[in-house]
Amino acid sequence: MPSHSFLLTLFLFSLIASSASRKKLRNNQETPLQVLERSVHYSNRIDPSRAVQISWQPRVFLYRNFLSDKECDYLISSAYTVKEKSSGNDDHTQGVEISLDLEDDIVARIEERLSVWTFLPKENSKPLQVMHYKHEQGGHNLDYFTDKSKLELSGPLMATVVLYLSNTTQGGQILFPESMPKSSSWSNCRSSSEILQPVKGNAILFFSLHPSASPDKSSIHARCPVLKGEMWSAIKYFYTRSISEGKVSTIAESDGGECTDEDDSCHAWAALGECQRNPVFMIGSPDYYGTCRKSCNAC
């Protein structure tokens, strides 16, 4: 007859085995979000020690390790899923752009964290655009991130964030040919600074407008060709106006509706003569929707 201690040991062993089995079953039933949350400490807090301003003209900021490796891989996987649903598994083209316009908790949290860092509202942005580039020809040929024809349809651009989802063996870095002061490290693919090299998890933020809201022509940017390997990145565009149904509100559209001010202080500013002294900010320009159009009698 089995001893009391043997039965107790057998009972404890069965409890441990049952617990392990339940844990394994629970893990198998976890969603991608739960897996990511369990493996990554999720927080929208920004670590100032990881962010640094690397240029004043244009205003360019670098945030090291903005994304974890798992987040980078998840965005790439999501892009593959969207691409397969829309156009099959044809991956022979050199450059692919995929919009992550979907309801996804992980993508939403990343976008919320971008707004916390940039102080720019998510409502003023379009969905993340995942970009995939393979080996490209061209030497010094530069491929602009920003398509001017698209911008004319979308409206004035406030800022751009580039999230690097993979390391790149050679090439792929951003250049700012009109940066001040002039430097070959900002305008030449062969001598560009290492700080501009694509590094998995890093984020680059640059503004297309001055703090006064006037266009910053030094923000004209380019991308060096990918000479070795491939590059994955995600682009986030922030605009000066909120976006409704994927389209940025334009001045012409707003004029057809209610004429309003964007700030409670507009009436006082107009009385002080700011409509004449600071017309771009107060009334607007082709690149910026004025803040105080009603008080300045512009609509």
pLDDT at 144 over 50: no
Residues 155 and 238 in one domain: yes
275, 182: one domain: no
How many domains would you assign to the chain? 2
Q: Does residue 40 surpass a pLDDT of 80? A: no
Of residues 65 and 16, more confidence is placed in: 65
Cβ 124 vs Cβ 239: under 8 Å: yes
Query: How far is Cα 75 from Cα 149, in angstroms, rounded to an integer?
Result: 27
Task: Give me the CATH number covering residue 239.
Answer: 2.60.120.620
| Entry pTM | 0.69
Tell me if 13 is assigned to some domain: no
Residue 20 has pLDDT above 70, yes or no: no
**Tokens coding 6:** 């043997």
Tracing tokens 């369990």 back to the chain, one arrives at 38
Q: Are strands 222-223 and 157-164 parallel, antiparallel or unpaired?
A: unpaired
Instruction: Give domain status of residue 6, yes or no.
Output: no
Q: Pick from 244, 259, 275: which residue ends a domain? A: 244
| Cα–Cα dist 163/216, whole Å | 22
Average pLDDT over residues 76-95: 72
- % of the chain exceeding 70 in pLDDT: 67
Residues 181 and 216 placed together within one structural domain of the fold = yes
79 shares its domain with 210: yes
Q: According to the model, what pLDDT value does residue 167 have? A: 92
User: What is the pLDDT confidence band of residue 252, given thresholds at 50, 70 and 90?
Assistant: very low
What range does the domain containing 171 cover? 48-244
**Range from 159-173, 262-276, 278-292 carrying the lowest mean pLDDT:** 278-292
Residues 192 and 285 in one domain: no
Residues 54 and 182 in one domain: yes
Instruction: Label residue 6 by pLDDT band (50, 70, 90).
Output: low
Of the listed ranges 79-83, 84-88, 276-280, 293-297, the least confidently predicted one is 84-88
The count of other CB atoms within 10 Å of the CB of residue 111 is 18
- Does any domain span residue 118? yes
299 located within any domain: no
- Is 206 part of a structural domain of the chain? yes
Domain co-membership, 215 together with 263: no
Within-domain flag for 37: no
Residues in the chain, how many?
299
Same domain, 216 and 268: no
Clarify whether residues 118 and 256 are in a common domain: no
Residues 222 and 276 in one domain: no
- Residues 58/186, Cβ–Cβ less than 8 Å: no
- Average pLDDT score, the chain: 76
Of residues 182, 186, 33, the one with CA closest to residue 110 = 33
Q: Tell me, what's the pLDDT at 89?
A: 57
**Regarding predicted confidence, which is higher, 19 or 295?**
295
The one-letter amino acid code at 242 reads S
Same domain (yes/no): 228, 116: yes
- Which H, E and C letters describe the chain, residue by residue? CCCHHHHHHHHHHHHHHHHHHHHHHHHHCCCHHHHHHHHCCCCCCCCHHHEEEEECECCEEEECCCCCHHHHHHHHHHHHHHHHHHHCCCCCCCEEEEECCCCCHHHHHHHHHHHHHHCCCHHHECCCEEEEECCCCCCCCCECCCCHHHHHHHCCEEEEEEEECCCCCEECCEECCCCECCCHHHHCCCCCCHHHCCCCCCEEEEECECCCCCECHHHCCEECCEEECCEEEEEEEEECCCEECCEECCHHHHHCCCCCCCCCCHHHHHHCCHHHHCHHHHCEECCEECCCCCCCCCC
Same domain? 85 vs 227: yes
More confident residue, 45 or 147: 45
34 lies in some domain: no
Q: Is residue 30 part of a domain?
A: no
